[in-house]
Each structure stands twice: as structure tokens, then as C-alpha cells.
Chains A and B, each alone.
Chain A
């Protein structure tokens, strides 16, 4: 089944404790992206990757890092989480080239930073 998976789905942590949220897709998509969703603000793009070893900042990259060492994986790293990073996070992937049709989203990771 074509899908984007994220782990963990729920995470409660404390300020300053480094964490990684994993994202994996099995569709051989070139483009992958991370979003955060906060009430009243819709989804905002954090980072995106056009392909392996190619990443770039989205609208709200502060406090986050990413890496793209393999095509299928795009982990999101919070080196020193803070309470303002409490949010619902979505990973997504899309087949690049052409008109970038359907973007597939993962199920979301709900992060709480105390």
C-alpha cells in the first residue's frame, strides 16, 4: 500500500531534550516536506527536500533541522525543543516533475513540549 508513515504518532517531552520524528514513504517520491499545524494558522511548511541531499527552508524553519540521506526517509530533528514547538506535525511526499500532482500526507505526529 502506498503510504507515508510517521513515528511516533504522539510524543510528550520536556524543554531542551533533543528528539527526532521519522518520516518514510514507499512511493519513490523525490519531493518530501514537513509541515506544522496550529489552531487558526492552517499548515505551514517547515522544510522541504527536492531530492537526496537537497533540502531547503520553508516558511517556519527556526528550531528545526532535517536531513535527506535516502530517498525514502526525511527525519525532522528538534535539537532543543521549546514549548512553542508544541504542534501537530505532518510529513508529505509528492512525485516531482510535471505539475506536482497529489501530495501524500502522513497521519501526523502530535508533539507536546513541557
Chain B
């Protein structure tokens, strides 16, 4: 079963906010949500992560719903360089360690 669900593609106008949704309805209380992005076939790049509170850093904001079943990554002022595939990831802790489950990603195209 997929741990996260994302729309396959989205467009955003340059300079506008890009809002990328993710559903993780089976998430448990101690499981973190991460966002990474991948440009072409390079190694994915970390953006942000959170547990239950909203988070903000220099790249983006992460909004997690109160029931934690979904989250939204916000790129406040999208630029052409933000065109990439964005992955929503859940980190699941077990007694043998931490596993990371990637979604299938959202291909974001920023349009001039």
C-alpha cells in the first residue's frame, strides 16, 4: 500500500506560490513527513520535514493538517529553477530502524 499519494503534475506561474499537496492518511503519531525534490535524474535534495507543527525554512513552508492525514508544501515565490519532481516521504520507525517511503512524486513546472 502506498504510504503517500501525490498528484502526478502541476503548473505554477513564476513568482506565484506553488502549493503541492500530499495525502498520508495511514500515518502514525511518531512518523515524520519529509519533502525532497529531484531535478532531472540527480540525487534528491532535501527541502523540509515535520511531525505535527507547521515548519518554515529558507526554501519552503510545510503545513500539516491537525489530523496529520495530509500536508502541503508551499514554495512562496516559485522561480523557473523550482521546476522539478517533488516527493512527499514518510519516515516510519520500527524496532529494526527507520524506513523511508517515497511517494511517486509531483512534477512541478514553473511557467514564465
CB distance from A40 to the nearest CB of B (A): 7
Contact code string A88-100 (vs B, CB < 8 Å = 1, else 0): 1010100000011
How many residue pairs, one in A and one in B, have C-beta atoms under 8 Å apart? 62
Is the contact region of chain B dominated by helix, strand, or loop, or is it mixed?
strand
For A45, give its contact among B49, B51, B100 (CB under 8 Å).
B100
Q: How many Å lie between the Cα of A59 and that of B49 in the bound state?
A: 21
- A82 and B105 CA atoms in complex are apart in Å by 27
Shortest Cβ distance from residue A3 to the other chain B in the assembled complex, whole angstroms = 10
Interface string of B92-103 (1 = CB under 8 A from A): 000011111111
Q: What residues of A have a CB within 8 angstroms of the CB of B51 in the complex?
A: 99
Distance in Å: Cβ of B25 to nearest Cβ of chain A: 18
Q: How far is the CB of B29 from chain A (nearest CB, A)?
A: 14
**Any B CB within 8 A of the CB of A103:** yes
Interface size band for A: 20 to 34
Q: Flag if B99 contacts A90 (CB, 8 Å).
A: no
The prevalent SS among residues of A at the interface is strand
Chain A nearest CB, measured from B90 CB (Å): 11
The CA of A90 and the CA of B100, in the complex, are separated in Å by 13
- Known contacts A42-B87, A42-B103, A48 near B97 by CB under 8 Å: yes
Q: Tell me the nearest residue of chain A to B85, going by C-beta.
A: A42
A81 near B: Cβ within 8 Å?
no
| Interface contact A103-B46, CB-CB below 8 Å | yes
Once the chains are docked, how many angstroms separate the CA of A59 from the CA of B1? 11
Q: Are A99 and B32 in contact (CB under 8 A)?
A: yes
Residues of B that sit less than 8 Å from A by CB: 32, 34, 36, 41-46, 49, 51, 87, 91, 96-105
The 4 closest A-B pairs by CB, nearest first: A105-B43, A102-B46, A43-B102, A42-B102
